[in-house]
Amino acid sequence: MSALLRIEDLHMEGRRPTGEWMPIVRGVSLEARRGEVLALIGESGAGKSTIALSSLAYARPGCRFTGGEVLFDGTPVLDLSLEQKREMRGRRVAYIAQSAAAAFNVAHTLAAQITEGPAVHGTMPQAEADTQMVDLARRMRLPEPERIGRKYPHQVSGGQLQRLLAVMAMSCGPDLLVFDEPTTAIDVTTQVEVLAAFKDVIRESGAAALYVTHDLAVVAQMADRIIVLYGGEIMEQGGTDQILHEPRHDYTRQLMAAVRPPPRASGSGADLESSAQPPVLSLQGIDAGYGGVKGGKPGVQILFDVDVDIPRGQAVGVIGESGCGKSTMARVISGLTPSFEGEVRLDGKTLPPDVKHRDKKDLQRVQLVLQMPDVSFNPKKLVAQALGRPLEFYLGMTGAERDRRVGELLNMVELPADYAGRFPHELSGGEKQRVNLARALAAEPDVILCDEVTSALDTVVGAAIIKLLESLQERLDTAFVFISHDLSTVASFANRIVVLYAGRVAEQGPTRRILSPPYHPYTRLLLSSVPEMRTGWLEDHRATREAEQAMADVVNIGLTGCPFHTRCPLMIPGTCDVKRPPVHRLEEDHRIACHREIGELQEAPGVHG
Amino acid sequence: MIANLIVRRLVLGVITIWVMSALVFFGIEILPGDVADAILGQGATEETLHAIREELGLYRPAYVRYLDWLGGLLRGEVGEALGTGRSIAEMIGIRLPTTLTLGGLTAAIAVPLALSLGLIAAMYPGSLFDRAITFGTLIVISGPEFLIATLLVMLFAIELRWVPAVSYLSQDPTFQQIARAMLLPVMTLVFAVLAPMTRMTRSAVLNVMASPAIEMAILKGVPRMRIVLWHALPNAFAPIVNVIAINLAYLITGVVVVEVIFSFPGVAKLMVDGVQSRDIPVVQACAMLFCAIYIGFYILADVISIVSNPRLRHPK
């Protein structure tokens, strides 16, 4: 069959903040056929999205086409008039964006936006478009397909929005679908269902698809063919199995090496001499939340009775879906969100709940590294000033002593000492995150809180940051609290893992015990939802009852019973929905909060192994 | 949720007006001289001063007089003018419609004009029209009302002799007289408020135009006009409404300058005359009226942006 989309020797440029134009796509040629999913993979800056968007004859602001051709169904689309491009977009080529929450317009109902395509392209009357939307929503297994269109974007969950974006894309029956990192912003548990829905859509419509992602395990589920990009050039292309299992190009091998294996007990990193150590930091019976406190309770309670010990010099991973209270836990430890019940103890000394009441010494001992390296620096201050400030404030260093220490800190995070003279905008995302880490280290703290520190970074860059954290943790006597929704990353690095669900600790213990039976049912759901780098995993996984059950609901902060009971395949009616689960205490301080007996929790996650 | 937020704004508004009343009262209180001095002027003797102070109760402590005055305001009794003894409420009542017409006419011209200019500029950013708007509004923003008014008078009243330089209205004015009297004051005020509103509309819409939701609309093949009006404008609504309300409130201060320059018989002129003749009750009453209007616009802006937020209108 002839190609639906043919890109020939495409050249594009992007404008730097300084104003000059730089090549960002250099001579890329590719073909996509009907009924085929072609994946574009690579790090950010590889030109994946830019190339994918060229199939819509669209260059983002600050980008421009400089050479080559894009042929869609035989038509050179770059030469079309604005009006002709508009007629093609949405009707023949449809786009599914990275973040549905941002792509939908908050001011209009979902139905108005989904049926807008047929209306502006005149493909069908309004009534027919409405019926079609309900039908597509049903096929996407969205709840209440007849009524969901009447809602506004903020009234539905992220995973549902992402599927609604696919409904919108399908509304004009396009021939080519462009997926731009469509599951990057959502949880693993939700990702499974969204990927399955996308796959159904592609198969049923017989359209061609471009699938842009940096997640290789996702690629394994979705793609027929893969193109590996680096710096705007094609490094390698081939069938999915060939690229994933027999990569030929060095860069592809490098990409594969950066992929963390799915979390398994055997593969997991640093082991312990753990529980012997007295905890450097301990949370006891923490209740916390947001909103004004009334009658001893805040408006919205997020954390419920959280007990967690952080042993000195160890890495503790905190995992759970979004909305489970991971970041709130970090904020309680740092005092930014004061707990209203329970205690935060540092070396046995109770800290004031509110950061305002903590003294300099308390502040120095707990440091925070934030998620977004791009916005956590003052753009007007040099790296030397950003790092010098905590040195002066906490340690009283000045002059040459401070400058020498800034150099040492940069070396600790594997950056050259002359980076001290740079401004934040002269650093890459990964380098900024290293400086962020150096800033936390500058205070010589006992505990460093890392809140999703790699989630804004690429796989390869993120993997390097994790490696750095591992080596720092081995060398220093600092404890790390590592918050992430990425189970593989946490499992590879943490000595202990805390699994949070709806603000409660579902399970906690040494990493290898968390990753092997007995499992808390929620831990098992999380583990089994991490895609494996093999084709066919998605289909296998969906057949399991965990996936079936977990689909039933999203994270709800329930006040009675076990919060997970609405999604739990092992739920005991009359018990789990009414009573708080007891905490089973096993060896090495491994704790599981569940009504089931330990024996019943021994079963391994469905599809693994 | 919405009702709660709106009530909170209203309560804050009332508190602000109350604080303003105290500032107005005690601000005038600390000026040298008092009402008795003002009434008697040059010919005051110790005895007459004493008699009037006795009569007006000026020997009572300031806070008692403040509460007395505040109580009067709440009951709608603002007292009498010192010079003429006429009811201040009546004096304001006669002049308020003229001032409101001036402000209303200005708003009726400036708001739609600013919205259209701002939207067109935002629809074609970087175009010649856009650059002309950006440049022109910048120049106008930099010129104060009295300068604009003076230039307009020089051009239309002195050079061209189309309209009078002073806006005098006879007892029973014809429509033509009113139009001629209003032309220059309204033009001056339109110039003063048009520029910031246009710029804010443009930048609020452009801000939204850079969002992923707009990129999505472009990639759906939505026509440009519909993108701006249906996708971008509703999301730019809150900042635009805010800047409109702030500028309408700002009209109040503009009105003072303009009414004085053109001797326009409105409330602001009344207040300035009151200042000149040291007619303190008149000044206080007018000041409170302007404060209330000013704060009223701000509250209105807040309420509209609350109501236009879909997250608040359609809670989960």
- Grade residue A551 by pLDDT with cuts at 50, 70 and 90: low
| Chain B interface includes A15 (CB < 8 A) | no
Give, as one character, the DSSP assignment of residue B221. Answer: T
Instruction: Identify the CATH number of the domain in which residue B288 sits.
Output: 1.10.3720.10
Host domain of residue B257? 92-308
Question: What share of chain B in percent tops pLDDT 90?
Answer: 17
Q: Indicate the residue of B212, B230, B316 with minimum beta-carbon distance to A97.
A: B212
The Cα A166–Cα A100 span in angstroms is: 10
Is residue B80, in this structure, part of any structural domain at all?
A: no
Q: Are residues B191 and B135 in the same domain?
A: yes
The closest CB to that of B218, out of A58, A151, A155, belongs to A58
Chain A residues in contact with B316 by the CB 8 A cut-off are 154-155
Q: Is the pLDDT of residue A268 over 50?
A: no
* A108 close to B (CB below 8 A): yes
Does residue B130 lie within any of the structural domains?
yes
Closest partner residue to B221 among A91, A103, A151, by Cβ? A91
pLDDT at A293: 67
φ, ψ at A75 (rounded to 5°): -95, 130
pLDDT confidence bin for A430, thresholds 50/70/90: confident
List the single best residue of A56, A84, A105 to mutate versus B (max B Cβ within 10 A). Answer: A105
B118 with B243, same domain? yes
Q: What's phi and psi for A415, nearest 5 deg?
A: -120, 150
Greater confidence (A582 vs B144) lies with A582
Cβ atoms of residues A485 and A452 within 8 Å: yes
How much is the average pLDDT of B229-255?
86
Q: Is A538 exposed, middle or buried (0-12, 13-18, 19+ CB in 10 A)?
A: buried
Nearest to A86 among B215, B223, B237 (CB): B223
Same domain? For B59 and B149 the reply is no
Average predicted confidence (pLDDT) for chain A: 87
Instruction: Search chain A and give the residue with CA nearest B308.
Output: A107
> Are residues B99 and B205 both part of a single domain?
yes
Q: What is the count of residue pairs from A and B with beta carbons less than 8 Å apart? A: 77
Structure ipTM over 0.95, yes or no: no
As beta bridge partners, residue A593 has A583
Write out the two tokens for A328: 């709130």
In a domain, B64, yes or no: yes
Q: Is residue B288 part of a domain?
A: yes
What confidence tens digit (pLDDT) does each residue in B79-124 have? 777 777 788 888 888 888 888 888 889 999 999 999 999 999 988 8
CA angle, A124 then A127 then A131, to 5° = 95
> Would you list the DSSP string of A304-334?
EEEEEEEETT-EEEEE--TTSSHHHHHHHHH
Place of tokens 């050179």: A76
Going from N- to C-terminal start, the domains of chain A cover 5-258, 520-609
Q: Sort out which chain A residues have CB atoms less than 8 A from B235's CB and list them.
A: 105-107
Residues B178 and B289 in one domain: yes
Verify that B37 and B118 share a domain, yes or no. Answer: no
Q: Are residues B243 and B120 part of one domain?
A: yes
Q: Do B223 and A120 touch (CB under 8 A)?
A: yes
Q: Which of B219, B223, B237 sits opposite A56 (nearest CB)?
A: B219
Name the CATH topology of A5-258: Rossmann fold (3.40.50)
Instruction: Please tell me the distance in Å from B130's CA to the nearest CA on chain A.
Output: 18
- One domain, residues B69 and B198: no
pTM of this structure: 0.77
Residue B150 and residue B285 in one domain: yes
For residues A514 and B231, what is the distance between their CA atoms, to the nearest angstrom? Answer: 48
**Is B134 in the same domain as B43?**
no
3-state DSSP call for residue A122? coil
Q: Domains in chain B: how many in total?
A: 2
Residue of B205, B219, B224, B229 to mutate for A, most A C-beta atoms under 10 A: B219
Overall average pLDDT of the B165-190 stretch: 78
DSSP type of residue B13: H
CA distance A169 to A178: 9
Radius of gyration, alpha carbons of chain B: 24
Given CB atoms, is A331 within the 8 Å cutoff of chain B? no
B234 and B304 housed in the same domain: yes
Cα gap A318→A489, rounded to integer Å:
11
Neighbours of A336 (CB within 10 A): 13
Q: Cα–Cα distance between A286 and A303 in angstroms, integer?
A: 7
- Per-residue pLDDT tens over the stretch A465-521: 888 998 888 888 899 999 988 888 888 889 999 999 989 999 999 998 998 888 899
Contact B316 A155 (CB under 8 A): yes
What's the pLDDT at A87? Answer: 94
pLDDT of A58 above 50 = yes
Specify the pLDDT at position A309: 92
Same domain? For B267 and B180 the reply is yes
**B211 to chain A nearest CA, in Å?**
8
